[in-house]
A and B are shown apart, each in its own frame.
Chain A
Amino acid sequence: MRAAVALALAAIVLVLIPLALTSYQLGLLTKMLIFALFAMSLNLILGYAGLPSLGHAAYFGMGAYTVGLLALRVTGNFWTNFGAGIVAAAVVAALFGLLALRTHGSYLLMITLALAQVLWGIAFGWRSFTGGDDGLPGIPRPSAGLPLSLADGVRFYYFVLVVTAVATAALWVVVQSPFGRALVGIRESERRMEVLGYDTWRYKYVAFVIAGVLAGVAGNLFVYFNGFVSPAYLSIVFSATALIMVILGGAGTVLGPALGSAVIIFLENVISAYTERWLLVLGSIYVAVTLFAPDGLLGLARRLVARATTQRSQVEERPA
């Protein structure tokens, strides 16, 4: 009940907030929403099924490049491009999943990274098609095929908000379903689930593809947001950013990664204004989170509160 009220309040705030923000701040919030979706998609396999990946940017970037290339070279139609971006991400996830899910643990991390790097290599090397290192600039916000042009920042924000909300709801349904419960079972003990008669590979594979599709949606949104796509979208830095957002917000909770996204994007923005050493700070955040907040910010807060209350109760007990 309390959760429902909090969610309703958050929804109201997100719907009304464009009235109170400058266009720059609204852009920042839009970016937070897009990365929230990206991180939530990774969380489905990492937080629920226990499958770490260092290559989640592959599907994000694949969606982004597909939309970007089609919009610049073929058609401006929103529906075909957005659909094609999702299909491309799904195909890549279906292919990579076949190879990656044969392995566990450290191998899974290395292989997801190496597979994503294949796409990065193509985007980087195939200059005549992808623009190479310079990327593809000048991708317009969607308008053709839609009743309203989304070129305007506020409209685009609402568009991203709706897409993210729908995707979040879909994720919530997946996680609450018997399928989602089975994923948690696999995370806790894959052997036991096998003994119970679950075809665990198929569960992991379907989750992997769903996560890839949603990452692709986030990539589609981001290419429209930035109007630009470059090999960085496929890079390990993007993949690892999604990872740290998930861990920071709390793996295995539907909305935790959204919190992680908000914190990281906010910090990036504030810190980049003062210094060029954002990557140094980001690296330190990785180190600090693994050392001090391995269960995320909420876990850290819970532990600090618990410690404070036990100390207080000890102090209260002592005089007696």
Chain B
Amino acid sequence: MTFWTFQILNGVSFGMLLFLLAAGLSLIYGLMRILNLAHGSYYILGAYVALSVVRVTGSLALAAVAGIAAVMALGVVMERVFLRRVPRDELPQALLTFGFLLIVGDVALWVWGGTPQTLPRPEAFSKSVRLGELVFPSYRLFVIAVGAVVGVALWLLQEHTRLGAMLRAAIDDPEIARTTGINVSRLATGVFAFGAGLAALGGIIGGPLLGVYPGADFEILLLAFVVVIIGGLGSLKGAFFGGLLVGLLDNFGKALFPEFALFTIFAPMALILAVRPTGLFGAR
């Protein structure tokens, strides 16, 4: 019994991390039809920058802000300077963003080295909590809470604010949205930066659990892809439930069949693809 509760909590906390990545991927795709392969770079870059800042200043809050800000700046540059210059077509965009994935990965290896490193946990969440007979690290509960708060905030933002209404209008039909006076271009840059920032947040709160190392960018990107394949590209709901599902599958796969862990994720993905090629909540 405790094994299952423990694994479920682990899976949910990992699922929330994946949600942070998939939400950004999905928002960017929804508005701009860009499949951003550099999303994994944002994850490791956010964690690495935070790591350096925390070593210098000792403040985790400052480190988180710096990590997110640095990655958002990179996102703005990528969107404004590079992605706008290539045709709106999936292949050039994929090649360009893959180039950035390689560049950021190699620069990170250069600057921060090849050994896996972990971010420190906040003091308040460094201990374990006792839930009945179960002893559980409180930091994982913190990660679950962050994911849930971000999820609710995103949903409120999209459904109940003026900005959200503009966003939905621009996703439905950018041309019409533009004629009604919505600055779709600025909105696109904002969404790109915001999505990048969410991935950086994922890297920073995931850093104490999973560590950050060369190759983590590819690993997390792939899992985020599986989430949006299952949930549906462009759907926030899909990112949330897809994230939970993949988080749980990954965790149980690793616990039960360590040699074939990836299989427990990909077999359900293939099944869903066979039934619904655009994912559970995908539009087209």
Contact = CB atoms under 8 A, between A and B. Distances in A.
Contact of B228 (A110, A243, A283): A110
A236 B99 contact: no
A284 B92 contact: no
Interface stretch (A117-125, A148-156, A205-213): A117-125
B222 A113 contact: yes
A285 to B, nearest CB: 7
A284 B98 CA distance: 10
Contact of A114 (B103, B226, B233, B278): B226
A283 B101 contact: yes
Interface stretch (B11-19, B124-132, B268-276): B268-276
A280 B106 contact: yes
Interface stretch (A99-107, A161-169, A171-179): A99-107
Interface of A: 46, 52, 54, 99, 102-103, 105-107, 109-111, 113-115, 117-118, 121-122, 125-128, 236-237, 240, 243-244, 247, 277, 279-280, 282-287, 289-291, 294
20 contacts: A46-B91, A99-B273, A102-B274, A109-B35, A110-B225, A114-B226, A117-B262, A121-B260, A127-B259, A243-B91, A244-B95, A279-B103, A282-B99, A283-B99, A283-B102, A283-B104, A284-B99, A284-B103, A286-B98, A290-B92
Contact of A277 (B82, B91, B94, B106): B106
B229 A111 contact: yes
Interface in B93-128: 94-96, 98-107, 110
B277 A279 contact: no
Given A122-B260, A287-B100, A106 B90 contact: yes
A121 B266 contact: yes
A121 B262 contact: yes
A243 B95 contact: yes
A286 B104 CA distance: 13
Contacts of B102: 237, 279-280, 282-283, 286
B95 A283 contact: no
A115 B266 CA distance: 8
Contacts of A282: 99, 102
B237 interface: no
A283 B101 CA distance: 7
A103 B222 contact: no
Nearest to B282: A107
Given A236-B218, A290-B92, A110 B99 contact: no
Contact of A125 (B29, B106, B218, B262): B262
Given A111-B273, A240-B98, 9 more contacts: A103-B273, A107-B278, A115-B266, A118-B266, A121-B262, A127-B259, A287-B82, A291-B86, A294-B86
Nearest to A50: B91
Given A102-B273, A106-B33, A122 B106 contact: no
B94 A109 contact: yes
B197 to A, nearest CB: 22
Contacts of B87: 294
Nearest to B92: A290
Contacts of A284: 99, 103
Contacts of B74: none
Contacts of A285: 99
Interface in B230-277: 233, 258-263, 266, 269-270, 273-274, 277
A128 B33 CA distance: 42
Contacts of A52: 90-91, 94
Given A110-B35, A125-B261, A277-B110, A117 B105 contact: no
A236 B225 CA distance: 13
Contacts of B278: 103, 107
Given A107-B229, A122-B263, A290-B99, A283 B269 contact: no
A287 B29 contact: no
Q: Which of B90, B99, B258, B260 has the most CB of A within 10 A?
A: B99
A275 to B, nearest CB: 10
Contacts of B104: 283
A130 to B, nearest CB: 10
Contacts of A277: 106, 110
A227 to B, nearest CB: 25
A277 to B, nearest CB: 6
Nearest to B279: A107
A118 B263 contact: yes
B144 to A, nearest CB: 26
B106 A114 contact: no
B160 interface: no
B116 to A, nearest CB: 14
B85 interface: yes
A291 B94 CA distance: 12
A200 to B, nearest CB: 16
Contacts of A247: 91, 95
B271 to A, nearest CB: 10
A102 B277 contact: yes
A179 B99 CA distance: 34
A300 B59 CA distance: 50
Q: Which of A105, A107, A121, A285 has the most CB of B within 10 A?
A: A107
Contacts of B273: 99, 102-103, 111
A99 B274 contact: yes
Interface in B49-87: 82, 85-87
